[in-house]
Chains A and B, each alone.
Chain A
């Protein structure tokens, strides 16, 4: 039930909670949403919901207790995260409580905002707890700021906002179920075959497929999360702004997982001096931010390498060719579409040998060559995934999505979205929510 694509979530939890939420008096809505969020989280993490509760109480008390305690709370939050992450590096049996990285980042940002005086209203336990545990965000973000939640204002029943929220939710759902989950099968197939045996065209197709899969998975999820929150009267929280329309890697990451990028910018990069203290400091600050980004994404060394490479690319842009890319957008777009998918391969493939194997297939003149390569594989996979990729690529064009977004209430768009919603339900109903159910042997 804790997945937004789960039918129990879509047809039971969500409508049920919404109904209660809008039936109770205004002043009790926060309580309903808070309890609903805790139930939601507890279903997915029945034991460690206690950790979330304890951290919520600790953070609330610290925030009330003044600057010193707020700083202590930040340290506690960082320590908890570091402990779980560190354990992941040394043990295979390590695990992360559901959404830990996301709700701890919210807690950290909350404490810092409190010490900076950016939260002017009176902090209450109800509002604080609600902010930390909001069910649409607790599992995978977006890392909304406290200030974005307008927690001081009662959430009235607003039909237009509910309609818009539903539209975003359906857009996200169909991106996730109809695009990302389908494309995921391609990537799985490549792993099943073994990178060394895929043809060069298939290697490129696979890389494109993975780049699109990751995007629609996360953007789809983020749209759903934002849409669902809108159903409860909150404002839309933007997490992606057409990253594949970017002209440089730095630009890409200003548009990709924006709430995480903003977190690092506001709470790490700028406090360290940002780019205002000379070139050397800028380089160090960027290195720190991107290494943390790498660690934050996972416990494998390859995430560190991925973060490191991005850091280097962004430094190079800042120091050398960034302006050229912005001035000649065509060049910038080509650069992004070449470099970003390549960096995704570092993200996706653990193990140096496997990465080199894949790179060797992408650039056969540089690698050791393939083994048992089926040169006709591109025809098979091209015909199977071509249409999905085309749809994905079209949706990567910023103007296309914006055009749809503007016409959310156009009868044709409404019918399209309704159709996509039921298609997604059809897919989910027949795969029990697991896209890999499409696999037969």
Chain B
């Protein structure tokens, strides 16, 4: 009572702290099993709060037996589609793509085997499933990878260059034509924060429709609810788009392998094609990062970006699916995003998005109707 009267906050924090600690300990092998923890680096109770972010309520721990049963049931019976949503949204923090902070990438995983297994399952599940096989001409000419990513590459977040330059070379054979801004009147741009810059700092948004959000990934592009606009599927159903531009890949650079990425990308392209069969699809190479970033970041470096760019370049057929690389316009001779174009070494400064727009104006594909 004396404690309550004189130091009530102390008492409350003490009780709640003990509660969260016990919750973390009790739930360690059940509800928090998928939240990686390095006890030598962070207090045990931190899993409760990281779990909370993934939608795990602390009280679930005390119902853990039921939770275990449910998890088992899910593993057996859930469809891939439902699982994909759960795993991508509810991914453990460390399996998520590290962003901007170089430190987080270097942390050793405590139970590498266990975490890796979880990651692998998630990545498999993260591939967008298509309802049925799509009859699609490009499938016949899609290039097979030259080799597989190695386990070491996967564990070290290295995107393996498993396709070489075959896709890039084939894409380069196409003779694009210059176009005017009206060309984008029936265009849809899908992308992450870089595309947000294109939308907000050029007048392209006067012509084209944009579905872009910071942190968007190729895995989430069909499940994300775009604020005030609905899902990609709804937008495609409602609109009649002649050209669809994609630039996605930097956020998931630390996740999975090149194979996983290209598989997700393929599924997205196929699904878009299924929903909008007449549209031209422009796969945009992911923009590089500046030298300082590239040389200091184990994940977000140009080597990794380029490996994945080369992989998705193989999806182009130069008939309906095209591959264009804005790095031609914004990167220097060594492939680094030019320093003067960026403050944070990743995004174009507002005013320089115009270079990207001008580049797009040179990469037109004239259809019969145009």
Closest B residue, CB atoms, query A431 = B101
User: Beyond the given A170-B13, A372-B350, A409-B9, could you list 17 further A-B residue pairs with CB under 8 A, ordered by the A residue number?
Assistant: A159-B3, A162-B10, A163-B6, A166-B10, A170-B9, A196-B350, A197-B349, A198-B350, A372-B354, A373-B350, A374-B201, A414-B12, A432-B101, A436-B101, A439-B99, A440-B215, A441-B347
Once the chains bind, are A415 and B3 in contact (CB under 8 Å)?
Answer: no
11 inter-chain pairs at a CB distance below 8 angstroms, sorted by A residue, are: A163-B9, A166-B7, A193-B197, A371-B350, A371-B351, A372-B351, A409-B6, A414-B9, A430-B53, A436-B101, A441-B214
Contact: B43 with A166, CB < 8 Å? Answer: no
Q: Which of A75-83, A292-300, A394-402, A421-429 contacts B (4 or more CB under 8 A)?
A: A421-429
Residues in A neighbouring B8, C-beta threshold 8 A? 163, 409, 411, 414
Residues of chain B contacted by A440 (CB below 8 angstroms) = 99, 192-193, 214-215, 251
State how many angstroms separate the Cβ of A313 from the closest Cβ of chain B.
Answer: 30
B99 touches A197 (CB 8 A): no
Q: Does B181 contact A (CB under 8 A)?
A: no
**Interchain CB contact (< 8 A) of B13 among A7, A166, A373, A436:** A166
Pair A372/B12 contact, Cβ less than 8 Å: no
- State the B residues within 8 Å of A (CB): 2-3, 5-10, 12-13, 16-17, 20, 41-43, 45-46, 49-50, 52-53, 93, 99-101, 103-104, 192-194, 197, 200-202, 214-215, 250-251, 343-344, 346-347, 349-351, 353-354
What is the interface of chain A, defined by CB distance below 8 A to chain B? 7-8, 10-12, 159-160, 162-163, 166-167, 170, 188, 191-194, 196-198, 371-374, 376-377, 380, 408-409, 411, 414-415, 417-418, 421-422, 425-426, 429-430, 432, 434, 436-437, 439-441
Are A167 and B250 in contact (CB-based, < 8 A)?
no
Per CB-CB distance, the 9 closest pairs between chain A and chain B, nearest first, are A163-B7, A440-B215, A197-B350, A194-B349, A429-B49, A11-B43, A372-B351, A159-B6, A193-B350
Chain A neighbourhood of B346, CB < 8 A: 441
Question: B343's contact among A194, A376, A411, A414, by CB below 8 Å, is which?
Answer: A194
List residues of chain B with CB within 8 A of the CB of A432. 101, 103-104
- Residues on A with C-beta less than 8 A from B343 are 191-192, 194
Min C-beta distance of B87 to chain A, whole Å: 18
Whether B99 contacts A7 by the Cβ 8 Å rule is no
Chain B residue contacts of A7, Cβ below 8 A: 42-43, 46
Chain A residues, Cβ within 8 Å of B50: 429-430
Are B9 and A417 in touch, CB under 8 angstroms?
A: yes
In the complex, what residue of chain A is closest to B99 when comparing beta carbons? A440
Cβ contacts under 8 Å, A415 to chain B: 12
Q: Identify the closest chain B residue to A188 (Cβ).
A: B344
What's the Cα separation between A191 and B7 when bound, in Å?
A: 44
The answer on a CB contact under 8 Å between B101 and A441 is no
Give the complex CA separation of A192 and B293 in angstroms: 14
Nearest Cβ distance between residue A416 and chain B, in whole angstroms? 10
The complex places the Cα of A374 from the Cα of B349 at a distance, in Å, of 12
Q: Do B12 and A441 touch across chains, with their CB atoms under 8 A apart?
A: no
Partner of B350 from A374, A411, A418, A422 at Cβ < 8 Å: A374
CA distance A159 to B16 in the complex (A): 19
A159 touches B200 (CB 8 A): no
- Expressed in whole angstroms, the Cα–Cα distance for A40 and B292 within the complex equals 32
